[in-house]
Amino acid sequence: MDVSMSWALPVKVDRLGAHLQAYVETLDTIITLRLCNRHGAGSGIFVQKLPVEIIQVIEKLIFREICKAKYPEWQVELHCFENECRPVDHLLREEQLDCYFGHDDYTADVCCNCQKEAGLPSHDEPDDEQLQKRLAKLDEQGHFDNYEWYDVHSERQGDWVTRVGNAKSIDGFFDEHDELLGEHFGVSVWTSHVRLDRDKCRHNYDAAHTTVAYLTLPDPYQRELRWEMSEDDRECGPWTGCESGYGIPVKLIGHPTPASLQRFARAMNILDLKVFEHESQAGPPVGFRLKNAVIKEGPPKKKTWPRSHFCCAAYPLTKPYRVHIHIGGGPTGHAAADNAKE
């Protein structure tokens, strides 16, 4: 179980990953550009003559171009993980082009002008918008119903968990760059793979889930909890009335200083991020039952970010699975957590 208390701000996980990756990969180039601008010397060196404002524009252009290149890698795996993909999305571009030309009712002898008049694709390679429009039409006509795409789909789902990491055992991209995030922005990243309601799923034979991400203020390490089953439990199964419970003294977080809050603004600006709260996080946890919950009618209140959050991610050992979290008062506070098999 991964439990933390911190001030947090939700962001879109694939955008965060792609933009952080772009930041890491362009860091040396941008540092070199700044050094040349400040200390460059010699004939034929013009960078040092450029004003700082122009250097900043160049930095943003470099960063955004790498972001554009990295974002599809994150987006395609997340779409598969969320089961929001289509069969055609699993084809390589070469395969998509074969479909673009091969599924049309015309011959290679038809001239381009005739093809345009008939609304058919020309022999020229299409741009991305033309290609996706044509593939969407073919998808609606059922051309990909028998395409064997599920192996690629499953592989991408596994690649996504490996890329991001999980609360059980896998350290992902954000764990690898946690130190850099702290040094450059003064923040950390908290992620969790969240199960959604069944009706959120595009494919009727897959579970629905997504990955949520928060920028957080780093907190001092307190204690790690890990529930493990003994060899006897694995063979015989645990007694149904038995729970794993821990009571842990925790330091309750206070209101951050204005300087600490500025860390979020700086990270959001440099990494070109926007606040994104997934629907699974906007209200009562999706798929969970809240005891004694009071539902208030009326329009939702506008939220201000960052906000104080208690983040909890548990990797279930058995199903169904229940997690209780209790936080007591006092200057230090007390958190109790237990898991139970229903």
Instruction: Find the angle CA(153)-CA(276)-CA(77) to the nearest 5 degrees.
Output: 15
pLDDT of residue 225: 60
pTM over 0.85: no
pLDDT at 323 over 90: no
Question: CA 111, CA 116: separation in Å to the nearest integer?
Answer: 9
Query: How does pLDDT run across 298-310, given as a tens digit for each residue?
Result: 555 677 889 888 7
More confident residue, 239 or 161: 161
pLDDT at 282 over 90: no
Sign of CA dihedral 295, 296, 298, 300: negative
pLDDT at 71 over 90: yes
Percentage with pLDDT > 70 across the chain? 63
pLDDT of residue 46: 79
**Mean pLDDT score of the chain, rounded to an integer?**
76
More confident residue, 270 or 337: 270
Query: How does pLDDT run across 169-223, given as a tens digit for each residue?
Result: 678 999 999 999 999 999 999 998 888 765 555 555 567 789 999 999 986 554 5
More confident residue, 97 or 31: 31
Question: CA 124, CA 49: separation in Å to the nearest integer?
Answer: 44
Query: How does pLDDT run across 221-280, given as a tens digit for each residue?
Result: 545 566 566 555 555 555 555 666 666 666 667 788 899 999 999 999 999 999 999 887
In the block, residue with structure tokens 């034979």 = 205
CB environment 74-104: b (16+ within 10 A), e (fewer): bebbbbbbbbebebbbbbeeeebeebbbeee
pLDDT band (50, 70, 90) for residue 126: confident
